[in-house]
Each structure stands twice: as structure tokens, then as C-alpha cells.
Amino acid sequence: MLNTPITRSLALCLATSVCGVQTALAAGFMLPEASTAGIGLTNALVANPEERGAFAYNPAAMGFHDGSSLALGTYFVGPNFSVDTASGRHDSEGAEWMAVPMIQGAFALDERWRLGFGVTVPFGLETRWPDGTFPAVSGTRTLGGFSIPLGHPLTSKVEIIDFSPTATYRVSDDLSLSAGLDIYWARQAKLDSTLGTLNGDGHGLGFNLGALYRQGAWSLGAVFRSSATLDLEGDFTPKSSVLVNLGRLARGQSAELEFAVPWRLQLGARHAFDERLAVEFDISRTGWSTFNDIKVRGKHSGAVIFADQNDWNDANAYRLGATYQLDDRTRLRFGYTYDETGQDDDHFSARVPDNDRHLFGLGLARSLGSGLSLEAAYMYVRAVDRDYRGVRDYTGGDLNGSTALAGDYSMDAHLIGLEVVKVF
């Protein structure tokens, strides 16, 4: 059986767009950024009835806006992963900057009903460790008198897009409710190790529910997005002809797997101190415990090709956002988030070298007249350095939680968002 589990590759989900994205901006492999307003406010938007950038976070916010709108934007990510191991300092390789799209439409049917459609990339991570980063699993071993490569965790990614149609109903002047679907498309699943390459794609379906209540200067919001299972199918091709000749691996075979993305719950409260200043505090809960036992099987044989157990924990993020109306045409945004990891030492993986993170955001929106506005934002993400030593000795098999991955891990990222919004 192969030593490199598929989950540690899939957990590296590369949430894609025009080019792809190379780092998760929240703990785990989640990418919650869905609008320029969200970037500036570090995603504290679930209780915001004023910002059209809140639609992607809580579709119920559409009920508090007249007319229709279309937002088109992108954000650019510049990530940095590095680790100090027994073989020295190593940086994860890859493109320095990647682009991710943000699309959100809201269409007014009458005074109460709104339809929305969004395209986002809610999950993603890619790491590319050079061969030799982890000495215990680098190089070769002898099997049957032949030398074969060890299961060094090199490059892996999954590219996922979320298409989200939603409907919003304005129950009263104070309350709006929404419901919708999350249609996930894994455009490409790829695991590239020294033992073989898995390529595939697939789909999954989830749902979302939202509510937004406003009373005077206060507003309260809640949104829930269900977990979803992506059914992926692909082909596994061994890299080592020795393993094929010895009968340890098939020369090529179809494979399938079920990969669960976590559920998400976000609750928030917002207070407008006056016509210029408003502050929101949100708590997000992510169901990382759904990212548990994953097995990849031969499509026809049913035999396990890869197996992995992660046992992550559900985790919280605490978000604070503030908006300030500088003048009739200019709005400023500020945000800070503390995002907890769901990955403990028992199942630490170098393919998802996660830790608690601090997010800092700044944003600007400028009205250009005729219902057109231009928005920009910047976010800095800094993970707490992780000094990982391993909880068990590595004796072969699963790398997660073992001393083979011992090292000092660090990560930070810069993010720049640009968006055009048109109100009809």
C-alpha cells in the first residue's frame, strides 16, 4: 500500500480561479474572502445591511437593498510558507502571486423577493516542498533488491469553485431571510508524490441559510453553510516502474474518493454609532471534524489505494470590522480577525502546516456616480510560528503526527483586492 495519503494532498486544496491560489487565508484550508468589502473587514460582514459586499457572506442582506447590482472583482495573493528542518531552511515553491475571482449578482424581482448568484473559491491551499526538506522520507529505500523512492510529501492540490444561487425574502421592514445552494466543482484533483500521480475531478452539493434582523442602530445576522461531500474520480499512474514490476502497484487504474468540506456557521452583531461609524463583531465556527477519515479506492476493484485519518477539531474565528463614511462618496473599512486552527499535533501534516492566524484588513470604496463604485482592499495574514517536534516516532506508513515532519514552520501572506460594483 502507498505511504502517502490522499487526504494530505486534498487538504491542500488549491481553490482556483483564473490562475489558481496558493494559500489559505484562514485556518485549515479555507478561503473565506468573497468580496473586497470582506477583505477590508476581515470577513466581519454577516450582520451588515449596508454593504453590497455582504451578499456573498449573508445573502439575506440583499433584502435591505433596492434595485439590482453586479459586482466583479479579483484578489491577488502573495503567500510564503517555510520550514526549518534538520536539513536546513526550505521555502514552499510556486508562483509568487496568484489571482482569484469574486463575482456576485443580486436581482430585484419585486419589493420582497431577491435572487442572487455568486462565484467564489471558499477553500484552498497548495504547498510544494523541495525534495530533501524532510530527511526521514527523502531519497530511496531498497525493496526486492531495487531502489525505490520514499513517500516524500512534494506537490499536491485540488482546485474547487463554488457556484451559489440564492433566494432572499424580505419578511418585514426589519427581517430578511435567505436560502440557497452551494454547487462545488473540483475542476482538478492532483496528487504528485515520488510514488505516483493521481489526477481527477468531481462535484458536490451543499446548502446555505441566512437571516438578517435590523432594529434601529443594531443589526443581527446569522448564516449557515452545510458540509458537502465531493465525489471525485480520476486516474492513478505510478512513477516507479519497480513497484509495478514487483506487483506492489498497478500500472494505471481508475480511482474514486469522497472528500468532505466542512460546515460553517457565522453569527454577528453590528452597531451604527452614527451616520458615519459602524462596528461589527462576528464569531465563525468551522466544522473541521468532518475532515476525518478519507479513503481512495480503485474504482473497479474497490481496493484502498490511499488511506488517511486527520481527526481535526471544530474551531472558531473571532472577527471585528469597522466602517467609516469619510464623505458622501468615500467609505473606509478596517478589520481584524483571530482565527484558530483545528489541527492538533497528533495529526499534524506538512501538506497543511496550519496554526492559529492573525488577519489585518484595510479597505476603501469610492462612488463614481451613476450607480458605479470602485473598491480596493489589502489584507495581511500572519500565522503563529509552529515549533513542531512530533508526537510519535516515524517507522513508515502515515506521516501525520510523526517525528519525520519535525521542524519550525512559518507562514504569512499579502492579499490585494480590486472590485467594480454597478447598481441598476
Q: What is the pLDDT of residue 267?
A: 98
In the structure, what pLDDT confidence band is assigned to residue 22 with cuts at 50, 70 and 90? very low
pLDDT of residue 294: 72
Per-residue pLDDT, averaged over 252-269, amounts to: 89
25-45: average pLDDT: 89
Cα distances (Å, whole numbers) of residue 199 to 46, 150, 174 = 37, 20, 49
User: Distance (Å, rounded) from C-alpha 314 to C-alpha 133?
Assistant: 30
C-alpha–C-alpha distance, residues 379 and 400, integer Å: 31
The pLDDT of residue 248 is 56
Alpha-carbon span 393 to 56, nearest angstrom: 45
Q: List the grid coordinates of 101.
A: 475571482
Cα separation of 191 and 198, whole Å? 5
| Residue 6: pLDDT over 60 | no
Residues 6 or more apart whose Cβ sits within 8 Å of residue 323: 41, 48, 50, 51, 277, 278, 331, 332, 333, 334
Domain boundaries, the chain: 7-423
Best CA proximity match to 16, nearest among 144, 236, 136, 190: 190
CA separation for the pair 324, 47 (Å, rounded): 16
Backbone angles phi, psi at 27, to 5 degrees: -60, 160
- Helix/strand/coil percentages in the chain, nearest 5: 10, 55, 35
Residue pLDDT, tens place only, 115-134: 999 999 998 777 788 888 99
Q: What is the pLDDT of residue 3?
A: 37
**Burial category of 197 from C-beta neighbours within 10 Å (exposed 0-12, middle 13-18, buried 19 and up):** middle
Query: What pTM does this model have?
Result: 0.89
The three-point CA angle 201-205-210 to 5° equals 140
Average pLDDT over all residues of the chain: 86
Query: What mean pLDDT do residues 294-312 have?
Result: 77
Q: Is 137 helix (H, G, I), strand (E, B) or coil?
A: helix
- Provide the residue count of the chain: 424
pLDDT digits (tens, 9 = 90+) for 43-76: 999 999 999 999 999 999 999 999 999 999 999 9
189 vs 205: CA distance, rounded Å: 17
The SS3 assignment for 225 reads strand
Q: To which CATH superfamily is domain 7-423 assigned? A: Outer membrane protein transport protein (OMPP1/FadL/TodX) (2.40.160.60)
pLDDT band, very low/low/confident/very high, at 302 (cuts 50, 70, 90): confident
C-alpha closest to that of 100 among 14, 209, 186, 175: 14
Cβ-based burial of 111 (10 A; exposed 0-12, middle 13-18, buried ≥19): exposed
Measured at the alpha carbon of residue 17, what is the angle toward residues 13 and 18, in degrees to the nearest 5? Answer: 140
Quick: pLDDT tens for 329-346. Answer: 999 999 999 999 999 999
Band (158; pLDDT cuts 50, 70, 90): confident
Residue 13 is predicted with a pLDDT of: 32
| Angle 72-78-83 from CA coordinates, rounded to 5° | 150
Contact, 51 vs 323, CB < 8 A?
A: yes
